[in-house]
A and B are shown apart, each in its own frame.
Chain A
């Protein structure tokens, strides 16, 4: 059974179309990167999945309608929205006690192990913590919940690179398993590409790419071409062209590797480059 199954999922705010008949199917055991520019519909899609907004079309999350069966759904879904938004008045210890008392899937020992690696003190109030510490606290809470679906919307905003790296490593090694599904959005794509199993690009409310990382590596090829062969490469209709140290870097979609190998050095493109290329192609 798919964790998320969307058919013609649509949402409009007034005249603005946020989601335009999106079809989506995410099986269990995946780490999906949902990538798109600001205002592309990422947040709206996540809101629909989390039952935070109504929508048109069909959407099932863990077999439930997220809007009408939200209370049931939240037993198995956890999320971090955008920026750390923990209540500022609460003490860390009270926040943990509350989460523990209302969430059947919250593992206290796990939380303690995670939080002990940080500087967060349990007697402190959230408003006394730095922004990074609030994010650490929130991430520790969420990772201690054994959810079937975890949605992370810009989870590492405000964190330094050391913690960001450690967070994604912990997520992959300690948290993730074949029963779980994780959806991540972030602008720092290159930091998460090594943990992703699937990639979804979204723009103007439409999905412009939905593929596994393996398929992406299969389909897209980056070629570094000397200037003399640049016109040959252009004839093969690259998605994108940029110049690095006097060489031309072309990105191709579904072009035979052998042919491209004759033009220059072949690489698997980074997600960030692929994203920029796909977005500019869509915009053109």
Chain B
């Protein structure tokens, strides 16, 4: 077990660009966009938009409204940034999983790794940890960094328009709550994505070439066959079960990324009630997810596929 840390370090070394730098670069670009947007809207005074001029006047004459609006805008931006960074991270993890048990077989470096006293099980599980825990946690840090920079930029603008800095950091702190929710959702996310990670690792460990096609074509094939021949209904399952299951798995991810984001957006835009007023909301996702049988069934399936990947890796001798 004391080999786990070196293994994780090795993965991070190999995938530094994708796993470590990418979320921060994406976050940086988003901050840059926000700053550029703020500068343009301030200096050009939104000449083209008569409504914009009125809004600016209304905000400048009412510092309280200014702070509330700025906070809401920053919360929305922060959430959008979280979603974009997490989505980028998910794409990186997708390709990481597909390559990680395949690339070293292709270039035969698996023979070097397997000449060291490190078990195949621990090797594979270290990759699972990277995909399900480490990568989303790095993305989380990148989200925080991005949101802090966004708040600083926003606060400067609010200050320049006569708003109070103190008001920016007191009262409605829904942005903070959403960060806390993001943090506590990380373990849920790890459980939630296990079947996806397991499937991709299985394809990666199994494929003699083109792991991408091995990962994508079988479910796609089943889904297409399903829509043509109604395969799942003969198993007394609703039509298009495969699509539905994969879709649910992707869009119901507990991290701010997809479906939950639109709900969050609606809540943010539609109500002035701050999240901070309801402290239980930080953990509100937990009972919802923990009660889902699909979370546990999925996690079990994921573990089964990971175990199968370990077995395939042990068996992979064609590299030598």
Contacts and interface: CB of A to CB of B under 8 A. Distances in A.
Contacts of A138: 112
Given A86-B112, A94-B10, A98-B10, A71 B117 contact: yes
A87 B114 contact: no
Contacts of B6: 97-98, 101-102
A217 interface: no
Interface stretch (A24-32, A75-83, A113-121, A233-241): A75-83
Contacts of B3: 101-102
A151 to B, nearest CB: 9
Interface in A94-111: 94, 97-99, 101-104
Nearest to B10: A98
B115 interface: yes
Interface string A138-151: 10001000000000
B272 interface: no
Contact of A87 (B104, B118, B314, B317): B104
Contacts of A91: 13
A79 B115 contact: yes
A103 B116 contact: yes
B116 A87 contact: no
B14 A89 contact: yes
A88 B113 CA distance: 12
A53 interface: yes
A85 B112 contact: yes
A47 B317 CA distance: 8
Interface string B279-293: 000000000000000
A52 interface: yes
A85 B317 contact: no
B9 interface: yes
B69 interface: no
A227 interface: no
Contact of A52 (B5, B14, B320): B320
Interface residues of B, number: 24
Interface string B96-116: 000000001001110111111
Contacts of B317: 47, 52-53
B228 to A, nearest CB: 37
A182 B113 CA distance: 20
Interface in B78-112: 104, 107-109, 111-112
B111 to A, nearest CB: 4
A83 B10 CA distance: 23
A215 interface: no
B160 interface: no
B111 A71 contact: no
A90 interface: yes
Interface in B33-65: none
Nearest to A46: B320
B116 A102 contact: yes
B304 to A, nearest CB: 21
A47 B320 contact: yes
B119 interface: yes
A99 B104 contact: no
Interface in A56-73: 70-71
A99 B7 CA distance: 10
A103 B112 CA distance: 13
A70 B315 CA distance: 12
Interface in B1-40: 3, 5-7, 9-10, 13-14
A142 B320 CA distance: 18
Nearest to B14: A89
A103 B107 contact: no
Contact of B14 (A43, A47, A90): A90
Contacts of A22: none
A241 B13 CA distance: 58
Nearest to B13: A94
Nearest to B107: A88
B115 A98 contact: no
B109 A86 contact: yes
Contacts of B113: 87
B9 A85 contact: no
A269 B101 CA distance: 48
Given A43-B320, A47-B320, A87-B104, A102 B118 contact: yes
A70 B120 CA distance: 10
A142 B10 CA distance: 19
A99 B109 contact: no
B117 A81 contact: no
A81 B116 contact: no
> Among the interface residues A52, A79, A90, which one has the most CB atoms of the partner chain B within 10 A?
A52
B23 to A, nearest CB: 20
Contacts of A52: 111, 114, 317, 320
Contacts of A81: 108, 111-112, 115, 320
18 contacts: A53-B317, A70-B314, A74-B116, A74-B117, A74-B118, A81-B112, A82-B111, A82-B320, A85-B107, A85-B108, A86-B109, A86-B112, A87-B112, A88-B107, A89-B14, A99-B116, A102-B116, A102-B117
Interface of B: 3, 5-7, 9-10, 13-14, 104, 107-109, 111-119, 314, 317, 320
Interface of A: 43, 47, 50, 52-53, 70-71, 74-75, 78-83, 85-91, 94, 97-99, 101-104, 138, 142
Enumerate the 7 nearest inter-chain pairs by beta-carbon distance, A residue then B residue, closest first. A87-B109, A101-B6, A74-B117, A85-B108, A81-B111, A71-B119, A53-B317
